[in-house]
Structure 1
Amino acid sequence: MSDLPGKHIVLFICDQMQYMRQGRVDPLARTPNLDALADEGVFFDRFYCSNPQCSPSRMSLQTGLHPHEAGVMVIYGFGGHTGHLGPRHRTIAQVLKEHGYRTAYFGKSHFGYPLEKLGYEKGIERGGGGSLAVVDEEITRDATNFLASYDATEPLFLVISLHQPHPPFESVEPYIRSFDPEQMPIPPSFADDLTGRPEFQRKRRESPGGGVTRQQLRLEMTQYYSMITKVDELFGRVRHALEGRGLWNDSVIAFTSDHGDMMGGHGLRLKGTFPYEELFRVPLIIKAPGVAGGARTASLGVNVSLPRTLMELAGVEVPDDWPNRSVTDVVLRQAEGPEQVFMEHYGAYWGWHPFRMIVTRSYKYVYYYGPDEPAEELYDLQHDPHEERNLAADTTYEDLKHRLKAKLESWWRTTEGRTFTYYESDEFKRIDAATLVDDNELWAFT
């Protein structure tokens, strides 16, 4: 990839933003700066996170590994698990540092390990206490102050990681005034009775804080939109700072989120234990020097592919032992992407419901391998995009289900996936106890 003209790399991450709340998708959304990035880059319509929880997904963005490959399957602290990003992992920052890059990270990490030991020469972490909009202002100020004196002749890898639009949801001024609660769209699946789904989903919806009324949803949606607009504004500030230092045109820029939010889908709220698109489908926009902008792709992708993609687009020689996953050919319009992608979930605040999942261009198949085993879900994403009908028990789809399950199980085996019994053993749960920086309090509400 050395003939590509890229140099600097900027990864901009927000927290808990749905794919469908971008201006390119939703006419109510106000994201002019991200829309401008899409005009200059490639906009992904079917990009997914590896896991709908903070720490596992963020680990994937650093290592190119699926959560079970890295042994980081939950937010450390859940159920006594201590797996976290640490000394047994190799990060994109470490690779780029070896290639002469200066490396910097500003904002939320939730890695459980110091940034400097993960390859970041400069790092300021800021937790999520109080107003997230205020904290994100501080994070952006840290990043732009750093850029103000940066030597543009040195290749830079910069990560800016915001907290918004993660809960607790707030009304961000002045943007909240642009959104009328009465105009907020109720998701088509809001009244889904969850027939044919694992029983825990209905129980979660009926539990305190698990479900949501229409009135509550409309209020939270207006706040969610205002927080996303604030994210967009802060992205614009970073862009302005990059342009001021002459870095923008020579940079590979990526915008994404670690996971989504149910936001009323299937009558549910927040993140957690579900396989639905609201949680797994996330934004991805990539701009790269020498690559024509304004493209939109329906190619499949998962965030484990992003680190290698950024390195390849920047012309970096990727180590042989780095996972061979990227969407570079999609960005360069040289391929349509894979026919299927794989994701997983293990445990969250609301219980242990481990599943692994395959998504193709038309279908989604989910297999539960923990306490809910052998529950399954199968959705026709073309004809049932809101996932209201589980086809797993429909004999008409038996052959398709078996083919998808065979692919899913093959992926699990080849990537050294194990059993629920193993993952609940002390051998696994305490794997990183000796090196864990127990900083969950810093990342309150995450």
Structure 2
Amino acid sequence: MPTNVLFFLTDQHRTDTLGCYGNTTVQTPNLDALAASGTTFDRCYTPSAICTPARASLLTGEAPFRHKLLANYERNVGYIEDLPENQYTVSGDLAAAGYRLGLVGKWHVGTHRTAADYGFDGPALPGWHNPVDHPDYLRYLEERNLPPYRISDEVRGTFPNGEPGNLLAATLHQPLEATFEHYLADRSIELLQRYAADPQGRPFYLATHFFGPHLPYVLPREYLEMYDPDSIELPASIAETFEGKPPVQRNYSAHWTFDTLTEQTSRELIAAYWGYVTLVDSQIGRVLDAARDLGVLEDAAVFFSADHGEFTGAHRLHDKGPAMYEDIYRIPGIVKAPGTPAGQRSEKLVHLIDMSATVLDLADLDPTAVVDGTSLMPLLRGEQTTWSEDLLAEFHGHHFPYPQRMLVTDRYKVVVNPDSVNELYDLQTDPHELRNGYDDPALREIRDDLLGRLYRQLRERGDNFYHWMTSMYPVGDKDYDTSLSSFEEGSQL
């Protein structure tokens, strides 16, 4: 029987901000309870640490190189800005199977087509951050006699050209009920009530996509000051020197003005980020409570994840970018499915696209329609199953083209940067990824094995990035004409 699905997706969410992932300070009672009732994936990754490609992958079940929506349209560097009209989508299969589809919150999967074009109910909310000027949100405030959006106490660094940097945080002069996050939860609950009352009893898929805790951290004072900055330990990778690293990382650090901020400001920003996480958790809790009150939660599958992580000062960076560190590629992954054991933890390497395949599986549809993902159901059921020992991720640019490919295993990670130095990290001995071991003779055998595995998988997938690796790295024997031509096929005299 098809299963109802609640899918919560946050934006730019660090895994280490959740109690269920080991944070003993940040209050995330609702997500912690969800983890206790389901399975928590400790090694969950995004296919690409940038909003639009990752969200398009969740919708299509395809890696970014395949669906080709490679960059956020606000910083588009010449790539396409909408999915092809004939693009396969998971929502299309669900709709054909009789599912009612709802998506409330951040879309960010294209310039022209909205979630409604893919069968979803819900307000069309454009952009990368809370669209506080949207007519539906303004109507929400007016109907409830709530004050309008107003901020003060802006926190900014200084750009390399001497101008004020991007907004990083600010005080929001609205009560909790007026926040965009509360509005999103209200709209989700309204859809949930409609679906639960469906006279035909049709199954539903309801996604709530929060724009936070993406920076800037614009919060009511009670959340902005919820956590004491003086008690916060700065990330160990704040010791980053960028020595032996791709120079672009140092440039990104300057763009995000890290060195123009005081240590105290860095602590205050992390405290604000944590407050944002707690605010979002509280609104997820409201939707879950409504589902419970409506009698639809117990038999529903519940997913929680994020499109990617956030630096919050790690590696002297903010936001995300062309640096394939765990801070932004590792994401939360929690799934509760009916009839599966509670309180499980998995160390398997999984990614966001696997969740798309799992949704189809729960809907009694063919999960192999998701070509770049695998259903998590065997893991959720606690079965002994063969699983991949490595995982791929990719990046194509933000602000400017910057192609990268990454392969991660249980211990190691290799990153190929064609226009710069490559990277190799031992996540066991160097969990903060401060030492690039790519040229370390002691790691050469491991490096070459990882390069070969990455090369072969890229080629099998049809990701043409492998062509660069063919001539540049020791990737193993070739069984094809590497020049991709016929003029070498004649016999040599």
Q: Secondary structure at the match of 2:415?
A: strand
Counterpart residue identity of residue 200, structure 1: V
Counterpart residue identity of residue 62, structure 1: L
Q: Secondary structure at the match of 1:125?
A: coil
Q: With CA pairs under 8 Å and 6+ residues apart, which has the higher RCO, 1 or 2?
A: 1
Residue range with higher mean Cα deviation, 82-91 or 129-138:
129-138
Structure 2 counterpart of 1:194 = 242
Distance 1:320 1:208, change over 3 A: closer
Residue range with higher mean Cα deviation, 13-22 or 197-206:
197-206
Q: Secondary structure at the match of 2:93?
A: helix
Q: Secondary structure at the match of 1:97?
A: helix
Structure 1 residue 319: Cα displacement: 6.1
Structure 1 residue 73: Cα displacement: 1.4
Taking only aligned residues, the RMSD between alpha carbons, in angstroms, comes to 2.1
Deviations 1:97-154 (A, max 9, x none): 111111111111011122222132x121334234697222222111111222323622
2:33 to 36, 49, 63: 36
Structure 1 residue 206: Cα displacement: 3.2
Q: Secondary structure at the match of 1:174?
A: helix
Aligned residues of 2:407 and 2:414 also touching (Cα < 8 A): yes
2:297 to 223, 228, 248: 248
2:454 to 398, 408, 424: 408
Alpha-carbon distance in structure 2 between the residues aligned to 1:193 and 1:300: 29
2:193 to 148, 157, 172: 148
Structure 1 residue 195: Cα displacement: 1.4
Aligned residues of 2:76 and 2:398 also touching (Cα < 8 A): yes
Aligned residues of 1:6 and 1:250 also touching (Cα < 8 A): no
Structure 1 residue 174: Cα displacement: 2.7
Q: Secondary structure at the match of 2:19?
A: coil
Distance 1:286 1:357, change over 3 A: same
Structure 1 counterpart of 2:114 = 114
Higher Cα Rg, which structure: 2
Structure 1 counterpart of 2:96 = 98
For the pair 1:18 / 2:14, whether they are aligned, the reply is: yes
Q: Secondary structure at the match of 1:105?
A: strand
Aligned residues of 1:108 and 1:163 also touching (Cα < 8 A): yes
Counterpart residue identity of residue 124, structure 2: E
Aligned residues of 1:327 and 1:337 also touching (Cα < 8 A): no
1:8 to 4, 19, 22: 4
2:228 to 175, 180, 189: 180
Deviations 1:237-292 (A, max 9, x none): 11011112211011111011101111111111111111001000111110010011
For the pair 1:417 / 2:463, whether they are aligned, the reply is: yes
Structure 2 matches for 1:352-391, cutoff 5 A?
Answer: 352-369=401-418, 371-372=419-420, 375-391=421-437
Structure 2 matches for 1:202-221, cutoff 5 A?
Answer: 202-207=250-255, 209=257, 211=259, 212-221=261-270
Structure 2 matches for 1:44-193, cutoff 5 A?
Answer: 44-76=41-73, 78-112=76-110, 113-120=113-120, 122-127=121-126, 128-130=130-132, 134-150=179-195, 151=197, 153-193=201-241
Distance 1:126 1:207, change over 3 A: closer
Distance 1:108 1:38, change over 3 A: same
Distance 1:215 1:85, change over 3 A: farther
Aligned residues of 1:172 and 1:227 also touching (Cα < 8 A): no
Alpha-carbon distance in structure 1 between the residues aligned to 2:455 and 2:107: 32
Aligned identity (percent) is: 29
Aligned residues of 1:330 and 1:336 also touching (Cα < 8 A): no
For the pair 1:343 / 2:393, whether they are aligned, the reply is: yes
Structure 2 counterpart of 1:432 = none
Aligned residues of 1:306 and 1:327 also touching (Cα < 8 A): yes
1:327 to 355, 376, 391: 376
List alignment gaps of at least 5 residues for structure 1: 423-446
Give runs of ≥4 in structure 1 deviating > 4 Å: 130-133, 419-422
Structure 1 residue 345: Cα displacement: 0.8
Q: TM-score, normalised by structure 2?
A: 0.79
Q: Secondary structure at the match of 1:171?
A: strand
Structure 1 residue 209: Cα displacement: 2.6
Structure 1 counterpart of 2:136 = none
Aligned residues of 2:389 and 2:410 also touching (Cα < 8 A): yes
Give the paired residue count. Answer: 412
